[in-house]
Structure 1
């Protein structure tokens, strides 16, 4: 099939011998032309596709005569759009059809794609109707019209771009904006865009449509999606002007692809990206990110794989992200005049040319001008005179309009002020929308408000449905708004679900034409709307799309600085949503904005400030910004303590308790384990006193106490604490409650750290099954349970495929958390230790280096976890034969952790075990023996005589004694260790086998932050 382009190159593919057909179509109907070509080729014919859009100044008979120069028969794809090419008057079409077409009727045939009556003169073409029928009937009618024999195809044409029947939509259609029936021109630009995407190497097909506001980037992207829809199985539109709504929308694709992901946007996004990368279940996909100007963190969202990505943006830095830029210019003059004449048929070609020149061929300005001239009876001369005289030209003097000409701004001013005179309700609705953010506006929410909450002048918004409908229809007709398809329920489009889209430039212009008094009143209304729309439960994942919808409008409505308690609660709920949904970056930015406003409203110790601090700290901590969380929590606690008088005060105890709990959490993550334990005991005692032992907060405080004990290496105490809390949660909540499952993980971790490997594995296997049933495989808590299960299997021995399990889990962790999250980094380290243990030193070196660098960047160089990582680096160096360098790492880890955690912490004992080995391997035998004796003594005191780490210290001591020829003592020590290892772990456990083979034991560091 050959594609003929009048203004740019040709594409050809050799076809079989047979009759030759030239399919002539308007660019708007490319999918139909392509499908017709595929079907004719399958029946053994040659096809040329010819996009036809002759300039208006070329006589129609001449343009049709040029078509006759091609060999073969001409098949015209007729529609309303086809007869608007130019545009041309009906009389010119009728004359040409009765003239040159009738004279060459044997060369012409036609299909019709409209359900409206065509011009009577089209009877000469004998068009066959393909509108609203299935593919088989359409093919039968097509062949019949061309006089071709029916029957099965003569040759098989592989399914490919454009081969799908246009009446069959893609398998996944992601709410692309409605197709603009008045879309004009841009054919060459659309074809260039398709070539860039199609010709790009797989995995790099990203194109950014760049240009100023109002130039038509969004309309171009929407038209591309419709025009080339038959090239794709998945087309998904993502509004990207706000990061939170962008991520929520992209994550929604997971369900459409049938992916078994969880509810958090981050988790779903990573599942989507992985499915797109694999091309499973669909390899032909198109993602459109509309209005993506902030490219920070774009790499976390941009997918790779066999599909295509299209971005619209004003940011010209997309090349740094690997996108191919495509500049979107203004209309060409013939496109401008053609659009104006189609939208406002009463104006002449000369008048259209004059208007287009005055407005600089900017599409958005032309849309407004065409709507005004088409809907009103104003003469073009009067319209141009007002534009040139600069009515309300002061608007342009305010600047910051992204290069939009003064004439365009004046044109908008004219429209809005004329509407103010003739349709005041429309302007009231329009100005109300400027108190939302530009883009998608859920305007129907206003009809949820009781009329009493609206000023008398605006009560009609909630009570007068006919006025509401007229106002909205008028604004749509004048192209001020477009209706948003997400805002209505299919088959039941009620006004309460109404949403519109408002261009940022129009939003800015209308806002500047609104009086401060109106603006203040409308912002109050929108704030009440947002509060009324708040579902009130940000923990319910089913309600997250609503919170994502509210987020963009908090700041423009003034909600962040509102004195209204309901609005303040909505702001806090949106912050809670950001935390629960994993939208940490959005939450951090929002929390900073709220703090700046609330600092002016409330004293630092006010309960609202405490609520804000708790939510802000939770978000910062979850994102890994531990120091910032600590600073705001410490400041809050100090202020509360200073302002709280001695003795009981109603509510004061719970406020202090909450603030203390937050600071204790920060201290745990910052490595201040002793201080955290002290504060956590205080929190737990206060919770028991004020709330009772069975309150949910008390149970959480009990759980956090166990975390503190575990971080301090007091594993038996942690286990007793966690086991008691597990039993209480099972009784008070339920066995399948998420908090109960967390306690199960803690108990299994305690058992593993106590050396009770088989007990730990049995408990965690059951816990893992429960997590899969209750929370699903991709939930962050399930991944935490899975991580602990893999470590239990590794320590228990006998599990042959721990490495494969770790690799698979790491892939899931990266999808859910990202590579730089502390949970993922911890698994990277454990995987590296396993790789080293099994001889894959290259992989181990890379993973351990990544983990060490990650924790150093996240926690700083002096954190216990960062220090402990040095011993893992040393083990890799030692396995590689770099013994002197390894000893340096071992000694640094040992000295550093001894200074911060004390000599008896299990982490310190493990580092001492490795340091003694390093001394031995470097010939420092006396120093090795001395350290081994001391380490064994401390291990027996801290962990007990039968703990695996204690027994490893005993095996190491025997090796150091042998090295100094103390054979009698070495034999006695070794025999005792072997007996205890066999009794404790079993004769076939890897530790016991290694001890019998006299392999020097080691200890690898498992990073844990709590």
Structure 2
């Protein structure tokens, strides 16, 4: 017999026997026997034999103080064993089941992350990826979710890909475990910005899940919700909205108003409301979802903070800038404390706070925060991720607001080029960048290059989102400014009247965008010779702006001076 290798005590971890595992699984919302096969944990005799084998090789020791054993890398019980091959396989299987039986909880709740962190090193050495046991499959799926929630998107993707490569040839493309791990892979691809690949995966697995489990099965609904996310990422907002509108009631009926999956579906529907321009409905749904998240999930959980950030954006979108700032400052402080500065939840809150600060005229604070946030996005997401590009566009908006229009143009040209390459020329994100580049060029005095770009972008917005979408109307406001610069006053007046009419139907009269549209119309009227009426309108708008935005806000000063206002468009999170 070979001598036992000594292993440092600090290398061991505690593994306790699990009780009532099925009840725990049902309580967490993902029963690990859902694939139709139930595995048995090792019985007392076999469990004892397994422990003796592990201990014989110096890989574990019994802790007399607690009902547990302290185990090093479990795989060594197999690879260093001199037992016959069938016994080795039996031991390997029991090791895998023991790992899968560990109490671990919801992988997206940070209070459980230390358990997943302890389990993670043992998965592949123990051969868990080669297991056909549904409980082991559930452990792999949960680990993919944990890595994604933790922010290790590449690790999540790689583990899911290895699981698919292992299970698909053995189990077949219609096996539930294969379909569900492919769904998890698609979710991670979405988080990485791989919208096209995620969409292809969802479109393949949805009919298979429906055929195997049914249209109303949670796995099928979950995949459909993911497909809506992929469509949003590709800029197909109305198609995504239709799916979210269909699936949300199913979750609510099946699981109730307060279930985690119902709240996730509500969150996604609110995102779709926002993207199709139904901003008040997005606000109301996010407000209700946030109330339920605070009560049932906890205010410091990632899912709650994500809704809180979106609610802060909703408040900004409807013109409640002060409330938006209060909400986002609170959310950012909590996210930093819980997740650190570079986690996706924190970065999203920070970037949204910058936008609100900028639109309130707090440019120095916005500049400082957007600089650090941009670096965080590049470190964690890479410079080509859509969220990193949106942050880069906000860097340019802050630079322009501070008067550095040439630098803003250079930054936006780079963002626009990457959006074109990654998302295509007609994606709303690309069009937002094109709109912003046009207004930065105009501010820099380069109307010759601004005019053709804003004309082209305005037409593309109509085709992409419709003539009545807020983004379309804002872009048309900027096109009217280009007409004024070219002395085409009558066309500018027509567009100004059109924009003010439709924006007033969507927002209250104190909304900053409505104030800008009203001021621009008054300037166009003055250019057409209606001096007295234009002066009265400008005075009224200036008084409102001073009250809402403050007397020193750049827009208030522009209105008082009778200067037209151009407006940026900020890509919304999908």
- The TM-score, its normalising length taken from structure 2, stands at 0.82
Of the three residues 322, 326, 334, the one matched with 1:762 is: 326
Give the equivalent residue in structure 2 for 1:1006: 570
Of the three residues 52, 58, 75, the one matched with 1:463 is: 52
Give the equivalent residue in structure 1 for 2:416: 852
- Change in Cα spacing, 1:488 to 1:821, as seen in structure 2 (3 Å) is farther
Task: Spell out, residue by residue over 1:861-894, the C-alpha distance to the aligned partner (whole angstroms, 9 max, x if none).
Answer: 3211112211112123223332121112111221
Task: Spell out, residue by residue over 1:121-161, the C-alpha distance to the aligned partner (whole angstroms, 9 max, x if none).
Answer: xxxxxxxxxxxxxxxxxxxxxxxxxxxxxxxxxxxxxxxxx
Name the SS of the counterpart of 2:567 in structure 1.
Answer: coil
Indicate conservation of the 8 Å contact 1:790/1:805, yes or no. Answer: yes
Name the SS of the counterpart of 1:801 in structure 2.
Answer: helix
Instruction: Spell out the pairing of 1:533-612 with structure 2 (5 A cutoff).
Output: 533-534=99-100, 535=102, 536-537=104-105, 538-539=107-108, 540-553=112-125, 557=127, 559-602=128-171, 604=173, 606-612=175-181
Of the three residues 351, 372, 388, the one matched with 1:787 is: 351
1:945 aligns with 2:515: no
- Change in Cα spacing, 1:875 to 1:446, as seen in structure 2 (3 Å) is closer
In 2, the alpha carbon distance for the partners of 1:936 and 1:444 equals: 66
Give the equivalent residue in structure 1 for 2:477: 913
> What is the deviation of 1:603?
5.8
Indicate conservation of the 8 Å contact 1:547/1:577, yes or no. Answer: no
In 1, the alpha carbon distance for the partners of 2:225 and 2:468 equals: 27
Instruction: Look at both structures and tell me which one has the larger radius of gyration over its CA atoms.
Output: 1
Higher-helix-fraction structure: 2
1:522 aligns with 2:88: yes
Of the three residues 391, 416, 420, the one matched with 1:827 is: 391
In 2, the alpha carbon distance for the partners of 1:912 and 1:743 equals: 31
Indicate conservation of the 8 Å contact 1:751/1:760, yes or no. Answer: yes
Task: Spell out, residue by residue over 1:422-446, the C-alpha distance to the aligned partner (whole angstroms, 9 max, x if none).
Answer: x4x78xx99xxxxxxxxxxx99999
> What is the deviation of 1:704?
1.7
Give the equivalent residue in structure 1 for 2:452: 888
In 1, the alpha carbon distance for the partners of 2:299 and 2:12 equals: 44
> What is the deviation of 1:828?
1.3
Task: Spell out, residue by residue over 1:715-734, the C-alpha distance to the aligned partner (whole angstroms, 9 max, x if none).
Answer: 11111111122223333334
1:695 aligns with 2:250: no
In 1, the alpha carbon distance for the partners of 2:193 and 2:284 equals: 29
Instruction: Spell out the pairing of 1:266-665 with structure 2 (5 A cutoff).
Output: 423=1, 453=46, 462-463=51-52, 468=57, 496-498=70-72, 522-523=88-89, 525-534=91-100, 535=102, 536-537=104-105, 538-539=107-108, 540-553=112-125, 557=127, 559-602=128-171, 604=173, 606-642=175-211, 652-665=216-229
Residues matched between the structures, number: 534
In 2, the alpha carbon distance for the partners of 1:771 and 1:496 equals: 35
> What is the deviation of 1:910?
1.2
Q: Give the superposed CA RMSD.
A: 3.7
- Change in Cα spacing, 1:643 to 1:837, as seen in structure 2 (3 Å) is same
- Change in Cα spacing, 1:747 to 1:588, as seen in structure 2 (3 Å) is closer
Give the equivalent residue in structure 2 for 1:127: none
Name the SS of the counterpart of 1:563 in structure 2.
Answer: coil
Instruction: Spell out the pairing of 1:67-86 with structure 2 (5 A cutoff).
Output: none
- Change in Cα spacing, 1:444 to 1:863, as seen in structure 2 (3 Å) is same
Of the three residues 879, 894, 897, the one matched with 2:461 is: 897
- Unpaired segments ≥5 residues, structure 1: 1-422, 431-441, 473-486, 647-651
> What is the deviation of 1:693?
1.2
Give the equivalent residue in structure 2 for 1:987: 551
In 2, the alpha carbon distance for the partners of 1:768 and 1:947 equals: 25
In 1, the alpha carbon distance for the partners of 2:55 and 2:475 equals: 78
Give the equivalent residue in structure 2 for 1:109: none
Indicate conservation of the 8 Å contact 1:725/1:743, yes or no. Answer: yes
In 2, the alpha carbon distance for the partners of 1:465 and 1:852 equals: 58
Higher-strand-fraction structure: 1
If asked which structure has higher relative contact order (CA below 8 Å, sep 6+), I would say 2
Task: Spell out, residue by residue over 1:612-646, the C-alpha distance to the aligned partner (whole angstroms, 9 max, x if none).
Answer: 13311221111111111111112222334455679
> What is the deviation of 1:912?
0.7
Indicate conservation of the 8 Å contact 1:875/1:886, yes or no. Answer: yes
